[in-house]
């Protein structure tokens, strides 16, 4: 681009025409591979998610979700321009396919009943996270594969547990916007603060922490023991509790709440 700068170029009519043609073609060209845009997913979420509660009935009728999933099917995450863009992409993909899975079974009262797109069965054997439903970049994935074989090992950011939403009441709240690379850090931190406020009980007076089962299931992502977990969680709570968690973690008592698997749907 340095060749377009300077008086000799600007005053040459032939070069000026070439300059205009170049930028006309550039602006009209399609996005380069990897230039992924999640504005469509944001529009879907804004229309169907209120304070984390999802209108699955309306999502099932919204053709835009299939359009968005079609975009995911044609996008190779490895070609996205940054690590933040790749992580945002995979989080959005997980949440979008979870919405598709649940919306495909109108009679479901819990994702644990769903055996595949459009089918339900025994919650003890359904295994919804092991269904190969996600078409991404020319490959087919399960939700478990996306979370446990891609997102967790490749990005090593425990905050993803505040962003991946499994359609249950005890899950983190589903945002009504897509995750985007230029705000990803801010969005994940907001999710952490919201999750700690609304799905956990941290009491600095009694030094007790009643935590989500998520911190037990994925304990290795948060530290080597509960003391390291508490120090990590200090990043997402108010100042008095944060100070105590950081400085007095050994004096805290930890328990885990029962996980409520009923759908995070709108009444």
* Strand ranges for the chain from DSSP E: 49-50, 53-54, 114-116, 119-120, 134-136, 139-141, 201-203, 208-211, 253-256
pLDDT tens-digit readout, 202-212 = 999 999 999 99
- Residue 11 pLDDT more than 80? no
Structure pTM?
0.87
pLDDT, tens digit, 9 for 90 and up, residues 69-78: 999 999 999 9
Q: What are phi and psi of 110, to 5 degrees?
A: -155, 145
How far apart, in whole angstroms, are the C-alpha atoms of residue 262 and residue 206? 30
């Amino acid at each position: 681009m340095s060749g377009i700068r300077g008086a000799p170029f600007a005053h040459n009519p032939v070069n000026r025409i070439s300059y205009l043609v170049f930028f006309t073609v550039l602006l009209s060209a399609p996005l380069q591979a990897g230039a992924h845009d999640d504005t469509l997913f944001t529009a879907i979420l804004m229309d169907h998610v209120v304070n984390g509660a999802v209108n699955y009935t309306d999502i099932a009728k919204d053709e835009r979700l299939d359009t968005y999933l079609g975009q995911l099917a044609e996008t190779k995450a490895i070609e996205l321009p940054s690590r933040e863009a790749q992580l945002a992409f995979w989080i959005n993909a997980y949440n979008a396919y979870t919405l598709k899975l649940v919306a495909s079974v109108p009679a479901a009262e819990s994702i644990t009943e769903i055996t595949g797109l459009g089918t339900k069965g025994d919650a003890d054997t359904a295994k919804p996270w092991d269904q190969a439903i996600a078409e991404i970049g020319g490959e087919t994935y399960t939700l478990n594969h996306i979370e446990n074989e891609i997102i967790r090992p490749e990005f090593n950011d425990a905050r993803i547990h505040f962003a991946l939403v499994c359609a249950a009441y005890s899950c983190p709240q589903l945002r009504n916007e897509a995750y985007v690379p230029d705000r990803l850090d801010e969005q994940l931190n907001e999710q952490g603060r919201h999750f700690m406020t609304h799905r956990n009980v941290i009491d600095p007076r009694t030094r007790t922490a009643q935590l989500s089962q998520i911190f037990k299931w994925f304990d290795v992502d948060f530290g080597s023991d509960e003391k390291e977990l508490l120090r990590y969680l200090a990043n997402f709570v108010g100042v008095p509790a944060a100070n105590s968690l950081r400085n007095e973690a050994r004096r805290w008592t930890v328990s885990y709440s029962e996980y409520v698997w009923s759908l995070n749907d709108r009444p």
